[in-house]
């Protein structure tokens, strides 16, 4: 018969090595096969209540990687806060120094390169960093600190209410209740919570095979590369731990531009710019620094196509596909001022020809949204604009037809094709 679910407090809401849990008598091999756990990779398990997102995939991959390897490209972009950059089933991209070898693993995309950007300097190894962290949450040789709770910061919301129950992670977030953890925030963000007791960085000389490594934190700082190694969390509440090691937003944008196909890459870079995670200057700096590397010209081209005005990935994809098909580059969210003073922003516009394209995703099917959309359409048409609409189905299944219509509209307004 199937094993009965059993969740020790030390493993609740965590990702861990199965061999560690068995060796420290928290679980048996039989109990690991219960519905309380989900197997993510070889010898890597997680609490089955955790959301199946790319952060979970990254946490699982990190437990089987040596120190010095960075999560990179679209995986790093996801950890920086761009949710559409990667999904749970997507491969985890990692950057490995040339001096190191990492064997092939299912669900892992390995890139070899030079890690030559500035790296946060670790503090001298402390007793906390040197010791073996037990799965019951008691690091040897480190007494409890009365300041420990004060060093932990909220995950994403500064105004989330209430304190957490004993034995549970800090689960405060904007969009979820305190009844379950914000698994998007349990992805290695930087912050005060990344410091171990005593003020050290948590960057020890290496990982112990007898250590349960877990990852938690909050939004990243402006450091170019985040390198603190994962730490630990115990059964009596959260303890300061380090983030998942990953490349910074600008470098992750460069990697994404080089590694992914252009349409998807531009959509991700658009989001990085829109969310303020990087800037045009930051992209230009990384493009200059890596200009001589393979893919350098491609990255500059992708960066030039990027536009922070895009409001969604499909809008980005539509814009890039039109440009790649030979049409002049449209302006994202171009302001159109109407005679009465109202300013409207069509998704894509060619102001010189007064032609615009609106992308209608699923949210436009809502009756109230449809009412507002049609009102906007009437205003724009009355102002002399030629409006076209593209649905999700047409973008993915009839793009040649969309292209013909946009070309015809531009030609009708005087564009010489």
Three-state SS for 36-90 is: CEEEEECCEEEECCCCCCHHHHHHHHHCCCCCCCEECHHHHHHHCCCHHHCCCCC
| Beta carbons within 10 angstroms of residue 109's beta carbon | 16
- For residue range 150-182, list pLDDT tens digits in order: 333 333 333 333 333 333 333 333 333 333 334
Least confident of 74-88, 122-136, 278-292, 331-345: 122-136
Pairing of strands 343-344, 336-337: antiparallel
CB 153 within 8 A of CB 218: yes
- The token duo for 380 is 């724009």
Least confident of 35-44, 63-72, 171-180, 270-279: 171-180
- The token duo for 264 is 């998807």
Structure confidence at residue 411 (pLDDT): 94
The DSSP bridge partners found for residue 44 are 17, 41
* CA distances in angstroms from 79 to 54, 56, 216, 279, listed in the order given: 8, 10, 11, 18
Structure confidence at residue 46 (pLDDT): 96
Among residues of the chain, what percentage have pLDDT more than 70? 66
pLDDT(14) > 60: yes
In order of start, what are the domains of the chain with their CATH numbers?
Answer: 1-159+169-247 (no CATH), 248-308 (no CATH), 310-417 (3.40.960.10)
Structure confidence at residue 285 (pLDDT): 96
CB 380 within 8 A of CB 356: yes
User: Rounded to a whole number, what is the distance in angstroms from the first to the last CA of the chain?
Assistant: 70
| SS3 call for 376 | helix
Nearest to 31 by CA among 54, 57, 53, 8: 8
Sign, CA dihedral 379-380-384-387, equals negative
Least confident of 66-70, 109-113, 289-293, 357-361: 357-361
CB 238 within 8 A of CB 216: yes
Structure confidence at residue 59 (pLDDT): 95
- pTM to 2 decimals? 0.70
| CA gap 217, 99 in Å, rounded | 30
The model's confidence at residue 1, banded by pLDDT at 50, 70 and 90, is low
pLDDT(312) > 80: yes
């Amino acid at each position: 018969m199937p094993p009965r679910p059993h969740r020790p407090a030390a493993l609740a809401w965590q990702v861990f090595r199965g061999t560690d849990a068995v060796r420290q008598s928290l679980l048996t091999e039989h109990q690991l096969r219960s519905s309380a756990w989900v197997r993510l990779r070889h010898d890597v398990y997680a609490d089955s209540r955790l959301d199946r997102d790319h952060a979970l995939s990254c946490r699982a991959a990190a437990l089987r990687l040596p120190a010095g390897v960075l999560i990179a490209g679209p995986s790093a972009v996801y950890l920086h806060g761009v949710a559409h950059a990667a999904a749970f089933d997507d491969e985890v991209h990692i950057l490995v120094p040339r001096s190191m070898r990492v064997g092939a693993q299912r669900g892992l995309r390995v890139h070899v390169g030079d890690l030559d950007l500035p790296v946060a300097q670790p503090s001298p190894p402390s007793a906390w960093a040197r010791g073996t962290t037990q799965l019951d949450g008691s690091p040897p040789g480190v007494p409890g600190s009365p300041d420990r709770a004060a060093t932990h910061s909220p995950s994403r919301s500064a105004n989330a209410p209430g304190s957490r129950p004993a034995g549970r992670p800090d689960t405060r977030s904007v969009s979820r209740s305190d009844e379950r953890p914000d698994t998007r925030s349990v992805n290695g963000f930087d912050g005060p919570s990344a410091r171990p007791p005593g003020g050290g960085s948590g960057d020890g000389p290496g990982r112990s095979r007898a250590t349960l490594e877990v990852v938690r934190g909050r939004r990243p700082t402006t450091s170019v590369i985040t390198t603190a190694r994962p730490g630990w969390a115990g059964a009596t509440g959260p303890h300061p731990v380090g983030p998942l090691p990953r490349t910074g937003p600008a470098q992750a944008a460069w990697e994404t531009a080089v590694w992914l196909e252009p349409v998807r890459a531009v959509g991700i870079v658009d989001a990085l710019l829109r969310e303020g995670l990087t800037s045009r200057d930051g992209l230009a700096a990384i493009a200059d620094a890596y200009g001589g590397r393979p893919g350098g010209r491609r990255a500059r081209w992708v960066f030039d196509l990027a536009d922070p005005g895009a409001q969604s990935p499909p809008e980005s994809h539509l814009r890039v596909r039109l440009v790649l098909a030979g049409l002049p580059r449209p302006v994202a969210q171009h302001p159109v001022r109407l005679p009465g003073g109202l300013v409207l922003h069509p998704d894509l516009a060619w102001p010189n020809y007064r032609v615009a394209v609106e992308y209608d995703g699923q949210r436009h099917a809502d009756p109230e949204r449809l009412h507002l959309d049609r009102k906007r359409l009437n205003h724009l048409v009355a102002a002399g604009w030629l409006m076209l609409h593209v649905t999700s189905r047409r973008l993915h299944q009839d793009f040649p037809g969309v292209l013909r219509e946009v070309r015809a509209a531009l030609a009708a307004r005087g564009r010489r094709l």
